[in-house]
Structure 1
Amino acid sequence: MTYRRAVIPALAGGLLITLLLWWAGASAQALELRGTTGVFDVQSAAELRRWLLPWSYEPPTGLLSDGPAATGTGGTALSGGTQYADLYHTAMQIRFVAVFVFFVAGALLLVRRLPPVQRRTPATLLALWAWGPVAGTLAVTVSAPWLIASGGHGSYRVLPQLAVVVASSGPVVVFTALLTALLTVFMARVTAKGADPLPRRSVPPRAARLAASVGTAVVALSLVVLSYQSVAARIQTSFGGGGMLSEPGDLLREWLLLGGWSGPASTPLGHWLLYRAADVVMLAVVWWALRLLPGLLTRTTVPAMAVGAVCATVLGLFASQVLHMAMDDTARVWGFMYLFADLGDGVPAALTFGVTAGIAAFATLRLAEGRGASRSGS
């Protein structure tokens, strides 16, 4: 699909996800009104508010610092609270612009290289859905310096504060991304009418399986090795630093760990095996997606494979988290909203290892195809 045809659905999707997140953030203030507990119980209302606050344009009560007053333009006195409120509003403006830009950039690449034609529609829909939380994570990361500064303690434990912000995009992005993906795919199918046919590529099965295995091994490095309890603890404590770069452990865990697990010593073996089965399902989803990806793309390039692998990793996370929901009794104890509390966690690490897996899979695919071509030529 040409850029001219792909840009319309990408822009429509970017606009929709931005508006949905803005509306969700604006709804956070409504949860503070009287009568909210008549609709939600106290725990569910608090959890829903936690989902929405990262996208609220108005700062929550008690978040901003009440620093010393300053003199503004023309000698006007500005209170410390006003200055920090301006910083918060700047952070949110950057956040909404960033989520629009990042979603449009990814959607443009996906719609162009993975157009919803020739039986690609389910793959395009899933990829765009997975890309939404990635765009949200990148947006909260880009806006983090202004948000941290608005709290009045910008130089205190910067990296732990940054880790909290990076992990704050929340389940709301997952749900808004699903609606956005549906609209984007619909628009892409409309704009694709009348275009030249885009048949699926023929990829040697052995090369595709090998590339998928290498990419999945990269993801497994995070999920199995780095996420093991003792290794994760070492990541948390082994890296030092001074001043503003002190305590990087939390931030490293956000970008490096796709999960967390330990031996079955403290839990029943059957329960432990069920949770490990969810990890196996995640790796299976990643492998299957990477196995199909080269044949679905109209042209196999490094950016397309990298973004596709990121989406595959996020989809694997979703599958694992849904299985965890089915095994957990959180909803019965804390309320229905807590059932989805962890949905969308791990996206920063999925971005890190998804990009690496995509590049590794691309290199493996090229080597395998080149070796196969040389054998057939000889």
Structure 2
Amino acid sequence: MTYRRAAIPALIGGLLLTALLWWAGASADALHLPGSGGTLGTDPVAELQRWLAPWAYDPPVFLDSGAQVSGYVPLDGGDDRDRYNGLYTTGLQIRYGAVFVFFVLGALLLIRRLPPVRGRATTAFLALWAWGAVAGTLAVTVSAPWFIASSGHGNYRFLPQLANVIAGGRQLPVAVGLVAAGASVLVARITAEGAEPPPRTDVPVRAARLAATAGTAVIALSVVVLSYQPVAAALQAYSPAGGLLSEPGDLLRQWLLLGAWDVPAGGPVLEWLLHRASDVLLLAVVWWALRRLPGLLTRATLPAMAAGAVCATVLGLLAGQVLRIAVVQAGPEQGLPYFSAGLGNGIPAALTCGLAAGVLAAVVLRTVLRGAPDPGPAGPAQYGDDR
């Protein structure tokens, strides 16, 4: 698919994702109405407020009510709340602009290399859904300095504050990304009508398996080694002395760890194995996706492999979290706050590890295929049809 054909669905998906996030953030005030707690329940309202807070237009408490908070530093020796409020508004504008830009750029690459036509529609939908969650994380990250500065104590422990801001705002893009991905796929199928069928590359099974195994090993390093609690604790406690950028441990943990686990300590072994099943599912999803990805792409370029690996890691992470919720944490007394508490955790680490996994998989794939004869385009009988 050409860039011109791919740009239309990417732009529509980006506009829809941004508009839905803006609408949800603008609706956060409704949760403060007196009847909301009685209608929805106290706990669901509190959880929804936590979902919407990073995207809401509500200013910080001390800017809204005039109350001083710990660490608040007045500008120019006075009570200059308007300027702090301006920083908050600027940060929110950057956040919404960034989520649109990041989604469009990623969707443009994915739709061009993974056009949602016969045999690829479901894969493209899942990839765009995952990329919507990644775009939300990146938008929160680049806008975080403005939100930290608007709190009035941006010169104190900046990196831990940055890690705390990045950890928020993950559930809402995961939810609304489904709608944006569906709209992008639908528009892309319409724009692809009349175009020549996109080619597929017949990748040898051995090469695809080796590339998938190498990429999955990178994810396993985070899941098995770095996420082991003694190692994770060492990362989180890492704190070189002095300076605004000291104490990067929390930030490193956000961008490197895909989970947390420890050896059984007196509890039932079966329950421990059930918790580990989510990690196994994550690795299985990543391996299967990387195994299929080179054959689904119109051209297995390094950027396309890297973006596809990021999406595969996010999908595996979400699948593991849903499994943990359904099998391990489910109970009749649990409600929305309990179920959604961990949804979207680890997306920054999925971006870091997924990029490394995709790059390594692409390098291994090119190395194995180097010197081999060009297999040429694969015939339609070699692939399934997911229409």
Q: TM-score range by the shorter chain?
A: over 0.9
CA distance in 1, matches of 2:26, 2:267: 42
Matches of residues 81-230 of structure 1 in structure 2 within 5 Å? 81-230=81-230
Partner of 1:353: 353
CA distance in 2, matches of 1:123, 1:216: 19
Partner of 2:321: 321
Structure 2 counterpart of 1:169, one-letter code: G
Alignment RMSD? 1.8
User: Any conservation in 2 of the 1:331–1:339 contact (CA below 8 Å)?
Assistant: no
CA distance in 1, matches of 2:83, 2:334: 38
User: Any conservation in 2 of the 1:58–1:89 contact (CA below 8 Å)?
Assistant: no
Structure 2 counterpart of 1:126, one-letter code: L
Superposed displacement of residue 331, structure 1: 6.3
User: Any conservation in 1 of the 2:275–2:328 contact (CA below 8 Å)?
Assistant: no
Structure 1 range deviating more: 352-361 or 319-328: 319-328
Partner of 1:28: 28
Deviation string, structure 1 residues 231-253 (Cα, Å, up to 9, x no partner): 10111123424221121111000
Deviation string, structure 1 residues 161-210 (Cα, Å, up to 9, x no partner): 00011111221110100110000000000000011111321000100000
User: Any conservation in 2 of the 1:91–1:147 contact (CA below 8 Å)?
Assistant: yes
CA distance in 2, matches of 1:107, 1:68: 42
Partner of 1:273: 273
Partner of 2:296: 296
User: Any conservation in 1 of the 2:274–2:328 contact (CA below 8 Å)?
Assistant: no
Superposed displacement of residue 329, structure 1: 3.8
Partner of 2:252: 252
User: Any conservation in 2 of the 1:331–1:337 contact (CA below 8 Å)?
Assistant: no
CA distance in 2, matches of 1:194, 1:153: 57
Partner of 1:75: none
Q: Give the helix-richer structure, 1 or 2.
A: 1
TM-score by length of 2: 0.91
CA distance in 1, matches of 2:144, 2:297: 34
CA distance in 1, matches of 2:371, 2:274: 40
CA distance in 2, matches of 1:69, 1:201: 60
CA distance in 1, matches of 2:275, 2:330: 15
User: Any conservation in 2 of the 1:306–1:358 contact (CA below 8 Å)?
Assistant: yes
CA distance in 2, matches of 1:68, 1:335: 42
Partner SS state of residue 263, structure 1: coil
Judged with a 3 Å threshold, the aligned counterparts in structure 2 of structure 1 residues 328 and 82 are, in CA distance, closer, same or farther, namely: farther
User: Any conservation in 2 of the 1:125–1:185 contact (CA below 8 Å)?
Assistant: yes
Structure 1 counterpart of 2:74, one-letter code: P
Moved over 2 A (4+): 60-71, 327-338, 371-374
Partner of 2:74: 68
Structure 1 range deviating more: 350-359 or 334-343: 334-343
Matches of residues 31-50 of structure 1 in structure 2 within 5 Å? 31-50=31-50
CA distance in 1, matches of 2:178, 2:266: 37
User: Any conservation in 1 of the 2:74–2:152 contact (CA below 8 Å)?
Assistant: no
Structure 1 counterpart of 2:118, one-letter code: Q
| Equivalent pairs, count | 368
Partner of 2:377: none
Partner of 1:287: 287
Judged with a 3 Å threshold, the aligned counterparts in structure 2 of structure 1 residues 51 and 362 are, in CA distance, closer, same or farther, namely: same
Structure 2 counterpart of 1:46, one-letter code: A
User: Any conservation in 1 of the 2:216–2:357 contact (CA below 8 Å)?
Assistant: yes
- Long gaps (5+) in structure 2: 375-387
Structure 2 counterpart of 1:137, one-letter code: T
CA distance in 2, matches of 1:258, 1:311: 14
Partner of 2:380: none
CA distance in 2, matches of 1:263, 1:156: 36
Partner of 1:52: 52
Judged with a 3 Å threshold, the aligned counterparts in structure 2 of structure 1 residues 279 and 329 are, in CA distance, closer, same or farther, namely: closer
CA distance in 1, matches of 2:112, 2:268: 48
Judged with a 3 Å threshold, the aligned counterparts in structure 2 of structure 1 residues 282 and 153 are, in CA distance, closer, same or farther, namely: same
CA distance in 2, matches of 1:103, 1:28: 23
TM-score by length of 1: 0.94
User: Any conservation in 1 of the 2:238–2:248 contact (CA below 8 Å)?
Assistant: no
Judged with a 3 Å threshold, the aligned counterparts in structure 2 of structure 1 residues 121 and 223 are, in CA distance, closer, same or farther, namely: same
